[in-house]
Structure 1
Amino acid sequence: MNISVKVQGAEAAAEIAATPLAELNPAKVSRFYDDTIWPVFERLRREDPVHFTPESEFGPYWSITKWNDIMAVDTDHEAFSSADGITLVNLEAMAEQIKVMGERRRGGAGFITMDEPDHGPARKAVSPTLAPANLQIMAPMVRERAGEILDSLPIGKEFDWVDLVSKELTAMTLATLFDFPFEQRRKLPWWSDMVMNMPGHGPVESWEQKAAAMFECFGAFTELWNQRVNAPPGNDLISMMAHNPATRNMSVETYQGNVILLIVGGNDTTRNTISSSVYSLNKNPDQYAKLRANPDLVLPMVSETIRWQTPLAHMARTATRDVELGGKTIKKGDKVAMWYISGNRDEDMVERPNEFIIDRERPRQHMSFGFGIHRCVGNRVAEMQLTIIWEEILKRFPEIKVVGEPVLNWSAFVHGFESLPVIIPART
């Protein structure tokens, strides 16, 4: 880490320590962008693990920062509903978006924002495509494509790992899962970025451009639906929804919501963990040496990166009734943010949580995929891609060298990388 980054971190830690607890806003986006969030969550876990922020750009909300409390909220879908959204929403930005796009054309609620009894059948409609048996069939294709991506990379010349590797592999896999036109695959991560960013961040230049991108996305997927619903059942996500009784007659808005969920969910976790794994191993050269010496550590390294990185920093719920948690009363209608990024660093649950250790005893002990009925439906797809890409990297490159600090996402939800400059000095 360079000196300016260290100074910035020290200044942020001092500011956070001096801020009155009642004024602490854990979702302040600039801290995620600057990577100075960690002292916020360390303080909250220590002093106020069920914390209320009365005023913020997201409105009032509760922050849940300890593992067991997060688990309690995540597994109680009766008391904590997903129906009002699963993220903290910038209220001013939402008003601007509605003004430009209208309420209906933003896309409706996918199955992640459904409660039971509607959630289960809708989720099951897409589950076969993401099941281990289907992934086993897909794996050789993913491996071949990963090899092609890695073999095309320049040697001895700086390039952006996010663009040439992380985005490309996830685009290829998403295109396969949707049976989306392969030559247009890069539209999928681009649409994901357009959905998740506000103007001035990522590729989004204006609300009008964002609206146009979403209309293009919805138009393309409406065309795919019309093709699949009138064709024999296939094994792709669109065909699964078109032919399943639970989803065949869903509204246009619900279909659009499912499309956005599957695009964003299929993009962000994998893409940001691919990027983070390279960055984390560079920042911990002893762990990189351990991995090179023992390629069997790829799978635990992937799990440790998913914990360490936490690709989605939080999930939100809305209380359906008054609930007692951690000695506090969360009132009916209150918004609650479960900070997975904090739970993954909970000292009471994870030994040496601030250290990146690729051979932990229980590498899968993390909360990045969530719990309960909304546990990430594509977690095995993510792990498959990440494992394959690293198995192929280790066959080809003695080292991937990070040559500058990454640019991070401007988001308190997607915790990831806009760019990561690297050089590959040589091939094996």
Structure 2
Amino acid sequence: MDGNAGLAPGAEVWSLPLESLDPSQAELFQSGAHHEWFRRLRKEAPVHYTRESMFGPYWSITRFEDIVAVDTNHEVFSSNRDIVIGDNPEGFAPPMFIAMDPPVHDVQRKVASPAVAPKRLADLELLIRERVGVILDGLPVGETFNWVDRVSIELTTQMLATLFDFPWEDRRLLPYWSDVTTTSETVGVQADMAERERILGECLAYFTRLWHERAALPPKFDFISLLAHSPETKDMVDDPMQFLGNLMLLIVGGNDTTRNSISGGVLALNMFPAEYEKLKADPSLVPSLVPEIIRWQTPLAHMRRTATRDVEFQGQTIRKGDRVVMWYASGNRDETVIAEPDRFIIDRERPRHHMSFGFGIHRCMGNRVAELQLRILWEEILKRFRHVEVVGEPVRVLSNFVQGYTDLPVRLHA
């Protein structure tokens, strides 16, 4: 694969009237054209207003420092109700703590966070390494297979099942529910929203049964047990929409992001073969490879906020109630902050200087677990295989929110 492939798609965006640009179109992300659209916005209109879109009017924040400024000011830029660009349907908007402001956000996040706390990482590391070994040793060498299904989904699903203490034989329900959650008109995907609601109702029923089982047992460190036993959240099960909302958050947060970084890392190393050779020659680069994968892939392209009052921001007047979209996918390619941002460079000076985990009170709760899975996976890949070769075009997800893959055909070299 050409290391420059895909660096300048969508060049026609430069000839369009600036005021007509609508970077929320999911097709831009599926084709990879969004990078060029954001390059123009960063240069000519870093705080840009789109008057007409399928979601209504919204502001785009595309530069790194401006995104940090919005993300760390929850008093002016609220997460309340919706964190994706589109509004949830009035009759089905399950609240979740990432879409809440303090103090409720702080309480619920604090209850769930021990499941992924740093003190648990040592125990999880042994478990992840064992599982990674089993997965990799079960792969066919010299045959073409779909890396997304056999590795990315399977590893993250096993991890998620552990964090929920979810019945092992049913674990593939977790990525299924995750995909249903993120297949939504709110992120630019035509979907049967009634069928989506029905399937998520099945998810709620399954977890409600687990909740009552956990509540009757001594407390443990899985998400459901933590929520069921905490005085602050023990009644959440009596508010089915809030329980479902937090389930959707924890499932997507624990699944989509890591899963698509696992796929994106293989793709990036194949697109930039000199970096792959550098990694093979020096496996000690894995710890800096991991954050570069997460930056380059940017698993979640945006987060949305809503202005709580009129505010002047970088010369623009944002009105109370306006949608404000922080395009992480753009901030991670900001030329003024990151050198050669379109290149994949595994030994950057400051590899962790990226925005894929967000900033402020909503910074990704499970970021250390995500990095741990990627680090162990690449350590174990380098022990076993000379090369993970991408042998066909990746199939990307249609979404302006999840930057992911359904197919990545690869062949392993022993």
After TM superposition, is the score higher than 0.5? yes
The letter of the residue matching 1:18 is S
Query: Residue by residue, what CA displacement relative to the aligned partner does 1:361-380 show, whole Å, maximum 9, x if unpaired?
Result: 11100000000000000101
Q: Provide the residue aligned with 1:277 in structure 2.
A: 265
Q: CA deviation at 1:84?
A: 2.6
Equivalence map 1:248-327=2 (5 Å):
248-250=234-236, 251-327=239-315
Query: Residue by residue, what CA displacement relative to the aligned partner does 1:95-125 show, whole Å, maximum 9, x if unpaired?
Result: 5xx7xxxx2xx46211101101111111000
Q: CA deviation at 1:204?
A: 9.6
Q: Does 1:360 align with 2:351?
A: no
Q: Does 1:216 align with 2:214?
A: no
Aligned 8 A contact 2:163 2:223 in 1? yes
Aligned 8 A contact 2:58 2:323 in 1? yes
The alignment partner of 2:334 has SS state of coil
Q: Provide the residue aligned with 2:20 in structure 1.
A: 23
Aligned 8 A contact 1:145 1:169 in 2? yes
Q: CA deviation at 1:252?
A: 2.1
Query: Residue by residue, what CA displacement relative to the aligned partner does 1:322-374 show, whole Å, maximum 9, x if unpaired?
Result: 11111001000000000011111111111111111000011100000000000
In 2, Cα distance between equivalents of 1:342 and 1:305: 15
The letter of the residue matching 1:55 is E
Aligned 8 A contact 1:107 1:256 in 2? no
Aligned 8 A contact 1:204 1:210 in 2? no
In 2, Cα distance between equivalents of 1:204 and 1:79: 32
Q: CA deviation at 1:207?
A: 4.0
In 2, Cα distance between equivalents of 1:419 and 1:246: 42
Q: Does 1:113 align with 2:110?
A: no
In 2, Cα distance between equivalents of 1:227 and 1:396: 41
| Percentage of identical aligned residues | 53
In 2, Cα distance between equivalents of 1:244 and 1:107: 24
In 2, Cα distance between equivalents of 1:310 and 1:410: 15
Q: Does 1:61 align with 2:58?
A: yes
In 1, Cα distance between equivalents of 2:202 and 2:384: 38
Q: CA deviation at 1:255?
A: 1.3
The alignment partner of 1:254 has SS state of helix
Gap regions ≥5 residues in structure 2:
none
Query: Residue by residue, what CA displacement relative to the aligned partner does 1:378-401 show, whole Å, maximum 9, x if unpaired?
Result: 101100111111111111100000
**Which piece of structure 1 moves more, 274-283 or 204-213?**
204-213
The letter of the residue matching 2:274 is D
Equivalence map 1:162-173=2 (5 Å):
162-173=148-159
In 2, Cα distance between equivalents of 1:136 and 1:170: 18
The letter of the residue matching 2:95 is A
TM-score, normalization: structure 1?
0.92
Q: CA deviation at 1:17?
A: 0.8
The alignment partner of 1:316 has SS state of strand
In 2, Cα distance between equivalents of 1:368 and 1:55: 27
Aligned 8 A contact 2:8 2:35 in 1? no
In 2, Cα distance between equivalents of 1:320 and 1:211: 29
Q: Does 1:191 align with 2:177?
A: yes
Q: Provide the residue aligned with 1:179 in structure 2.
A: 165
Equivalent of 2:117 in 131, 153, 163: 131
Equivalent of 1:345 in 309, 328, 333: 333
Q: Which runs of 4+ in 1 moved over 6 A?
A: none
The letter of the residue matching 1:244 is S
The letter of the residue matching 2:141 is I
Equivalence map 1:393-408=2 (5 Å):
393-408=381-396
Query: Residue by residue, what CA displacement relative to the aligned partner does 1:63-119 show, whole Å, maximum 9, x if unpaired?
Result: 000111101100000001111310111x6xx55xx7xxxx2xx46211101101111
The letter of the residue matching 1:392 is E
In 2, Cα distance between equivalents of 1:64 and 1:263: 27
Query: Residue by residue, what CA displacement relative to the aligned partner does 1:9-36 show, whole Å, maximum 9, x if unpaired?
Result: 65x212x111100000011111111111
The alignment partner of 1:127 has SS state of helix
Q: Provide the residue aligned with 2:38 in structure 1.
A: 41
The alignment partner of 1:112 has SS state of helix
In 2, Cα distance between equivalents of 1:18 and 1:206: 35
In 2, Cα distance between equivalents of 1:278 and 1:385: 14
The alignment partner of 1:347 has SS state of coil
Q: Does 1:148 align with 2:134?
A: yes
The alignment partner of 1:400 has SS state of strand
TM-score, normalization: structure 2?
0.95
State the number of aligned residues. Answer: 408
In 2, Cα distance between equivalents of 1:275 and 1:209: 28
Q: Does 1:161 align with 2:147?
A: yes
Aligned 8 A contact 2:8 2:36 in 1? no
* Root-mean-square deviation over aligned CA pairs: 1.9
